[in-house]
Amino acid sequence: MSLDANLGELNVRPPVMADASAVAGLINLCAMLETGTLQITVEHVLAHWRTPGFDLATDARVVEGPGGRMVGYVEVRAHGLQAGLVVWIRIHPDYTGGPLGGALLRLAERRALEVCGRVILRAATLAVNHDTRRLLNAAGFRLAQRLWSGDQDADRAADRSALLPGWPEEMRWISLDGRAPVRYDVYEKELRDDCLPVAV
């Protein structure tokens, strides 16, 4: 994956296992601002990166700012033929609203097309994250599904088959361990190798 935009002082490279702590810190910073809770541990990041079929060298990138500070992370991951591919991006709040988000999203689209010549690429964001929703809409993604986190009793009682059909079970329903429910918006975009995103 290579960027199509000049990001000045920012350095984009494949992550290595030693980056797990910095990536977890970035993810948790974003989570604290959005939900007020920590989302992930270093061990979770490492286990996630060791998932069979996921290759750090090709499927993810980290973005370093001045002094090596972690300011961005992107990955593209397959979740089965029916589910297509999922893009996951986290950007340090100091860099939201600038060119980094669009550059990472285009980077993810190119990687998705390397994996599959034609594919549905999906992304989920908290409904309160207006910057991400604007970014996805501007890039041609369309709202496909809305879902709520909820308490565990409600999660167990829900008809999970109606949520995000074709997605793996762990992605169809999100639980925040009984905390106040929040809404997630799931966006998708059909990609074809004859309509590569144009560099800007």
Which residue bears the tokens 């989302």? 39
Asked, for residue 6, whether it belongs to a domain, the answer is no
Please count the structural domains in the chain: 1
- In the predicted model, is pLDDT for residue 166 greater than 90? no
| Residue 15 forms part of a structural domain | yes
Judged against a pLDDT cut of 70, whether residue 173 lies above it is answered with no
Band of residue 3 on the pLDDT scale cut at 50, 70, 90: low
Q: Could you tell me if residue 167 is inside a domain?
A: yes
Of 115, 90, 96, 105, nearest in space to 25 by CA: 90
Q: Give the pLDDT mean for 66-89.
A: 82
Asked whether 147 and 163 are in contact (CB, 8 A), the reply is: yes
What mean pLDDT comes out for the span 127-151? Answer: 85
Q: Is residue 200 part of a domain?
A: no
User: Do 62 and 21 form a contact (C-beta atoms < 8 A)?
Assistant: no
CA dist 175 and 190 (Å) reads: 28
**Whole-number pLDDT of residue 199:** 37
Q: How far apart are CA 173 and CA 160, in angstroms?
A: 7
Q: What are the helix (H) ranges across the chain?
A: 20-35, 42-49, 56-59, 99-115, 130-138, 152-157, 169-172
pLDDT(197) > 80: no
Question: Cα separation of 138 and 116, whole Å?
Answer: 23
Domain, as residue range, for 154: 11-192
Higher pLDDT, 154 or 68: 68
Strand order in the sheet with 118-126: 11-13, 60-64, 70-78, 85-91, 118-126, 183-192, 142-148
* Banded model confidence at residue 164, pLDDT cuts 50, 70, 90: very low
Other C-beta atoms closer than 10 Å to the C-beta of 74 total 25
Residue 21 located in a structural domain: yes
DSSP three-state, residue 128: coil
In this prediction, what percent of the chain has a pLDDT beyond 70?
74
Domain assignment of residue 149, yes or no:
yes
Residue 178 belongs to some domain of the structure? yes
Does residue 4 belong to any structural domain of this protein?
no
Q: What is the CATH number of the domain that holds 32?
A: 3.40.630.30
